[in-house]
Structure formats: structure tokens, C-alpha cells
């Protein structure tokens, strides 16, 4: 994508916004309803394309497409309720005869940049709320799943044509990062919504100062396990949260802090739970742990495991890499400065650490620059309340794994993990601005 291409995308997006911004909420909702119908028609093709391009196990790919459908449905509901709030000026002294509303207006064309690990649902969390807010969108999807992205875009185009919505309302951009940055800087783009690495997110903050920038970045999800919980049940939940989809999830359970009195009970249960998860061919519906996105990534993680072992880590579980397929690994005995503790693993690697108390676990869980998701398990309600107040993350899960997410709910991080929330209702706030409109009595 060259300079002329991105300039064309920006110009088309601005013209499409001019045509779409005055549209009614009914028209926006009808377009999204038509898109949902088109997605349903290609749901199985979308799932198989995700698996073929990214290696995500087919059962998880089908789940993702189903979630994308849910995201669209929730956006439909949000469009119906979003946009205007009555302000009770008639109850305020000095405003007799006045009427007021707080109304939200779309900001303009949106550049949406999405990753490979959820190429359909994470895209839908940006595209549908932006369109439902009255914005046009330029979508730069991940380069690893081009056919998946095109198929989703084609399903939208079929709906757009059917509903006679403006041309270029949703444009599919190329994957060239240099051109994408130029597009992000273009003054005709009003909002940039990015999901991806912390490194790229921080770069965008530097080059897009003053522009609305919505960031959903990485994490190194921590879990604190108190003594006395059901070891087998918690281990099963956390095993899937740690390694399903090869652990390529920014919310994955990466750092698990276990009460010393519970260590000998929980650790064997967790290791066995991870061993029980089928590893291998992503086209097999039984597979839970498939390959990483490519062989180079698998080699890098495998080398990092060698480094950690050489530095003194104890291996509780590890298998032999075969191409891009890296079996789950469980380590213990790592320092808090080890990359598997302080960075985002984004792989099927989990670190277990013993702590002397639940409070120590909370403190060590929060001693990170990230803040996306964190979990705590306890049967003591006082400890759960303590976890809610001390775990510094955009999402705190109590007696649930950090990967637990409902697409209708807010989702986002703090500190190095980003800003704001996604989830259709909250995403729409990011694509709009508020305006208080007050009408006085006729003179």
C-alpha cells in the first residue's frame, strides 16, 4: 500500500462519513442486522479459514465466530439505547422552562487495527460499534489471516449493498505498517483503535499525540490461589486459561501464585489438568492446544525456555517442539525479573510461584507494569474483597479465570495494558463525543 493508496482510503473514508453520519439509529441498526445475517451464512467457512491461517483449533475457531455473532447482536441493542440522555434541568434552580439532553456525535473516520489471535471477534468489537456510532471505518487487519479478514469484509459488503449504505463505509487496508502509520497520522482520520503489542501501542502514542487513540495492549495475567479451594476444579479452569489456543491470548493465566500451605495439593492437580488437554492437529475438533502462529515464534519461545532453565528454573512440564507446535510448559522457581514473569508470554508457558500468604500473592500479582486481567480464588469472602481492592487490573475476576469474558461486558486494561474499554456500549463512547444541548423557553 503506497502513499496514493492510503490517501485514497482516507479520502474515501471522509466522504463515506459525510454520508453516514446523518443516518438514523434505525438505519444503522438495520445495516448491522443485515451484516449479522451474512455472517451467519459464512460462519463455518470463517471458522475453517481461521484454523487454516492461524492454527487456532477448529472448535475454538467456531466458538470465536459464534462470539462475533453475539458481539453484533449486542451492538444492535447498544445502538437502540445509545446516543441521547435527558438531563433534568427542570429540577435545577434557575433553569425553569429549560430542556436539556446530553447527545453523542460520531467523531469521524476510524482506523481499526486488529491482531491475529482473534481475527474475527476482536475485529467485530471495533467495526460494529464504530459503524453503529455513525463512523466510517478503515480496517487494517493482521497480515497473518488475510483470507479470514477478506471473508468478513465481503460479508459486510454484501450487507451494505443490500441496505444501500454508502460506498467505502468499511474499507479493507493492506498490512504494510509504514503505510498504516501514515494513514493513522492523516488528519482525515479522527480515531485510531488499536489492539496489539505494548511496543506498537506506545509508538502510536508518540506519533499520534492529540488524536483520539484507543489502546488494548498486552498483559501477563496473574492468578492468586488461596488455600482450601477445590484444587481439581480450579486447576481445570486455569489449565484451559493458560494454554488453550497455544496461550495466544492477552488475558491468559501466565503467573499463578499459590499459597504455600496449598502448594503440594494444587501443583500436581494443575500439571495433570494441563496434561489432559489434547495437543496437536488444529483441524481435530478435540484439540485444545494447537500450533503457535508460525515456526519462528515457536523457536523463539523454545529458546526462551532453554534460557529460563539455564537460569535455574525448575521444569514441571515440557514437551518437544515440532515445527510451530510447542507443547505446554510449566515452570517454577523463576525470579520476578524473569521475562516469563514480567513480560507477556503469549504462548503455552505458565509460571507457578509459592507465596506465604494470600496478601503476599496479591502484592506480587500487582507488581507489574501491566494491568489487563487478574484473578483470585478463595473461599474467604474477606480475601475476595481484598483482592477486588488490591489487584490493579482493568478486569478483576474472583473465583474465575482471567480469560473469562462476556462480549456484552466492558473489557480493557490500565497502565501498560491500554486505556478505555471495549464491549459495544463502551466502545461506542470511544468513537463519539458528548454535547450538552440546552433549550430555553421561547422569547
**Inter-residue long-range contacts of 200-207, CB under 8 Å, 24+ positions, other chains counted:** 201/418, 207/181
pTM of the prediction?
Answer: 0.95
- HEC string of the chain? CCHHHHHHHHHHHHHHHHHHCCCCHHHHHHHHHHHHHHHHHCHHHHHHHHHHHHCCCHHHHHHHHHHHHHHHHHHHHHHHHCCEEEECHHHCCCCCCCEEEEEEEECCCEEEECCCCCCCHHHHHHHHHHHHHCCCEEEECCCCCHHHHHHHHHHHHHHHHHCCCCCCCEEECCCCHHHHHHHHHCCCCCEEEEECCHHHHHHHHHHCCCCEEEEECCCCCEEEECCCCCHHHHHHHHHHHHHHHHHCCCCCCCEEEEEHHHHHHHHHHHHHHHHCCCECCCCCCCCCECCCCCHHHHHHHHHHHHHHHHCCCEEEECCCCECCECCCEEEECCCCCCHHHHCCCCCCEEEEEEECCHHHHHHHHHCCCCCCEEEEECCCHHHHHHHHHHCCCCEEEECCCCCCCCCCCCECCCHHHECCCECHHHHHHHCEEEEEEEECCCC
**Active-site residue identified among 216, 227, 344, 422:** 216
Cβ neighbors of 115 (< 8 A, separation 6 or more) are 122, 142, 195, 196
Q: Report whether 391 contacts 374 (CB < 8 A).
A: yes
All domains of the chain in start order, with CATH: 3-217+418-439 (3.40.605.10), 222-398 (3.40.309.10)
Phi, psi for 433 (deg, rounded to 5): -130, 150
Q: What is the pLDDT of residue 1?
A: 57
Q: Please state the length of the chain.
A: 443
Q: Determine the pLDDT at residue 6.
A: 79
Please tell me the predicted confidence (pLDDT) of residue 27. Answer: 97
Q: Is there a catalytic annotation at residue 429?
A: no
**Nearest to 227, CA basis, from 183, 191, 262, 179:** 262
Q: Given this model, what pLDDT does residue 2 score?
A: 58
CB 200 within 8 A of CB 344: no
Q: Which residues sit opposite 138 in a β-bridge?
A: 111, 171
Q: How far apart are CA 440 and CA 442, in angstroms?
A: 6
Give me the catalytic one of 69, 227, 250, 304: 250
Active site residue 250: yes
- Could you tell me if 329 and 307 are in contact, meaning their C-beta atoms sit under 8 angstroms apart? no
* pLDDT reported for residue 103: 95
> How far is residue 125 from each of residues 38, 68, 76, 117, 320, measured CA to CA in Å?
17, 8, 12, 14, 36
Rounded Cα distance between 32 and 18, Å, is 19
Q: What pLDDT score was predicted for residue 179?
A: 87
Please tell me the predicted confidence (pLDDT) of residue 5. 78
Q: Which positions of the chain have pLDDT values less than 70?
A: 1-4
What's the pLDDT at 218? 92
Amino acid at each position: 500500500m503506497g502513499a496514493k493508496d492510503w490517501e485514497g482510503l482516507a479520502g474515501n473514508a471522509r466522504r463515506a462519513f459525510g454520508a453516514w453520519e446523518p443516518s438514523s439509529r434505525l438505519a444503522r441498526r438495520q445495516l448491522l442486522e443485515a451484516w449479522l445475517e451474512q455472517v451467519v451464512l459464512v460462519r463455518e467457512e470463517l471458522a475453517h479459514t481461521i484454523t487454516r491461517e492461524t492454527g487456532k483449533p477448529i472448535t475454538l475457531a467456531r466458538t470465536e465466530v459464534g462470539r462475533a455473532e453475539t458481539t453484533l447482536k449486542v451492538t444492535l441493542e447498544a445502538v437502540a439505547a445509545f446516543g441521547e440522555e435527558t438531563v433534568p434541568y427542570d429540577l435545577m434552580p434557575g433553569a425553569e422552562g429549560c430542556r436539556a439532553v446530553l447527545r453523542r456525535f460520531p467523531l469521524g473516520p476510524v482506523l481499526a487495527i486488529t491482531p491475529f489471535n482473534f481475527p474475527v471477534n476482536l475485529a467485530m468489537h471495533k467495526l460494529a460499534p464504530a459503524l453503529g456510532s455513525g463512523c466510517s471505518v478503515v480496517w487494517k487487519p493482521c497480515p497473518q489471516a488475510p483470507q479470514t479478514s477478506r471473508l468478513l469484509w465481503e460479508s459486510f459488503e454484501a450487507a451494505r449493498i443490500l441496505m444501500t449504505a454508502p460506498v467505502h463505509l468499511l474499507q479493507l487496508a493492506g498490512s504494510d505498517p509504514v503505510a498504516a502509520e501514515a494513514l493513522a497520522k492523516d488528519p482525515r482520520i479522527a480515531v485510531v483503535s488499536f489492539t496489539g503489542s505494548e511496543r506498537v501501542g506506545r509508538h502510536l502514542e508518540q506519533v499520534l499525540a492529540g488524536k483520539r487513540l484507543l489502546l488494548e495492549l498486552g498483559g501477563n495475567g496473574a492468578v492468586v490461589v488461596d488455600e482450601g479451594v477445590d484444587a481439581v476444579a480450579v486447576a481445570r479452569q486455569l489449565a484451559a486459561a493458560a494454554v488453550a489456543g497455544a496461550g495466544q491470548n492477552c488475558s491468559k493465566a501466565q503467573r499463578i501464585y499459590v499459597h504455600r500451605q496449598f502448594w503440594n495439593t494444587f501443583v500436581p492437580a494443575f500439571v495433570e489438568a494441563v496434561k489432559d488437554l489434547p495437543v496437536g492437529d488444529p483441524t481435530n475438533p478435540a484439540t485444545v492446544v494447537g500450533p503457535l502462529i508460525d515456526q519462528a515464534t515457536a523457536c523463539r519461545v523454545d529458546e526462551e525456555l532453554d534460557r529460563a532453565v539455564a537460569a535455574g528454573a525448575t521444569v514441571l512440564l515440557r514437551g518437544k517442539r515440532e515445527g510451530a507446535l510447542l507443547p505446554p510448559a510449566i515452570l517454577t522457581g523463576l525470579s520476578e525479573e524473569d521475562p516469563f514473569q514480567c513480560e507477556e508470554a503469549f504462548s503455552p508457558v505458565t509460571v507457578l510461584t509459592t507465596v506465604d500468604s494470600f496478601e503476599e500473592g496479591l502484592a506480587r500479582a500487582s507488581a507489574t507494569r501491566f494491568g489487563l486481567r487478574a484473578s483470585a480464588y478463595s473461599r474467604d469472602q474477606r480475601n475476595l474483597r481484598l483482592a477486588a481492592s488490591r489487584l490493579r487490573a482493568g478486569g478483576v475476576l474472583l473465583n474465575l479465570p482471567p480469560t473469562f469474558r462476556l462480549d456484552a461486558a466492558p473489557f480493557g486494561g490500565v497502565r501498560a495494558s491500554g486505556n478505555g474499554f471495549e464491549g459495544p456500549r463502551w466502545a461506542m463512547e470511544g468513537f463519539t463525543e458528548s454535547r450538552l444541548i440546552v433549550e430555553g423557553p421561547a422569547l
